[in-house]
Structure 1
């Protein structure tokens, strides 16, 4: 198995990661909100995330971009109202979203990749301020060569401009980048754009019926170094 994997990933020079759900657990905001009833935390997480993504796609179609913090806040307000939760929870939950917990394997994987000579970056819908807060609160500020927000191009993923931004910033061709995302729609779009793609299918999603095809599917990022021929 190792031989074909190395052959297929030959020439990769940088590993670019989606942030939300890939490096950072978006469920950790509601799960740490003690004022949210425990029996509603999972529903709040799911609805908040679903509306957040829907709003990014719909705003992109309408050409009505606003930054991800506004989208996240509007999605949260929708979820709170729908679930009959107090609107006063908004500020606390938004602050918790700035300090989402990284998945357990993330710090070690990033250290391993960087020690092996790979450049590392984030490419996210998150606003610059949101991403700065995430990486600093998680103690990962020195773990990336670049933290890239689609705010720079004014359109959310899956628009090709978002992926092109990573290429332009890193000054690498698409085939020299391994892109990691837990979001199937993101993984498929990055593949269709031309990147090598590792779909970190943390949530047991079904495969999408969309253009593109991720090169690999893994359960956690702990499996990534092996795909790149790196030992832990």
Structure 2
């Protein structure tokens, strides 16, 4: 079968929600959080992303670890959870989030085919590096790039430009994958051939930037780019 996206030289992945399950942080401590665990996890993620957009608009960048803590504080307060030990456990879990089930096999497939792979994330190195190391997938990535280098969050074009700077590959040769529709559109607008990993079956955000493809999870990536299984 012919590849839907021929000519790809490198796959670049968003981290949170794409390779790694941010919900696993709360899931591990469901008993400590209590009956509001699912709604807290959802709010935490929503606020985390919202705060990055607001900080971009304000010109007030802060490391993603700080933003993640601020989002968690808001969510805990909303759910009337005041135990500092719960906060400590949840933040600690963010340093070792679970990869989605299909991720190790997919990355191994790309590696066998000699496909270059990297991460481009809002996370700062102090939180990304421990997470990738804990997953035992670090050797599958040529590099883990952080927005910390430019002091702005996605979808600022300076973030996507880091891929050109570090790897010397033109945007049209990059397959960028994100579970965040707004991130996928931002990357497509920049010039990447972008795949939205729509894990929840959500409607498209209809933002600028034409998506190259949409998948339910990453197991379909090798076929999309013509990599043998």
TM-score range, shorter chain: over 0.9
Q: Which residue of 2 aligns with 1:137?
A: 134
Query: Displacement, 1:87?
Result: 4.1
Q: In 2, distance between residues paired with 1:45 and 1:203? A: 15
Over aligned residue pairs, what C-alpha RMSD do you find?
Answer: 1.0
Alignment of 1:1-232 (within 5 A): 2-3=1-2, 6=3, 9-33=5-29, 34-37=31-34, 39-88=35-84, 89-232=86-229
Q: Using structure 2 for the length normalisation, give the TM-score.
A: 0.97
Q: In 2, distance between residues paired with 1:56 and 1:87? A: 26
Q: In 1, distance between residues paired with 2:83 and 2:76? A: 6
Q: In 2, distance between residues paired with 1:14 and 1:44? A: 36
Q: In 2, distance between residues paired with 1:207 and 1:127? A: 28
CA deviations 1:133-160 (Å, max 9, x no partner) are: 1111111111100100000010000000
Q: In 2, distance between residues paired with 1:215 and 1:144? A: 23
CA deviations 1:102-159 (Å, max 9, x no partner) are: 0001011111111111100000000101110111111111110010000001000000
Structure 1 outlier segments of 4+, above 6 Å: none
Is 2:172–2:191's contact at 8 Å kept on the other side of the alignment? yes
Q: In 2, distance between residues paired with 1:75 and 1:177? A: 32
Q: In 2, distance between residues paired with 1:144 and 1:43? A: 33
Q: Which runs of 5+ in 1 are unaligned?
A: none
Is 1:77–1:87's contact at 8 Å kept on the other side of the alignment? no
Q: In 2, distance between residues paired with 1:51 and 1:146? A: 28
Q: Which runs of 5+ in 2 are unaligned?
A: none
Q: In 1, distance between residues paired with 2:80 and 2:210? A: 40
Number of residues paired by the alignment? Answer: 227
Is 2:6–2:226's contact at 8 Å kept on the other side of the alignment? no
Q: In 2, distance between residues paired with 1:113 and 1:179? A: 14
Q: Using structure 1 for the length normalisation, give the TM-score.
A: 0.96
SS in 1 for 2:38: helix
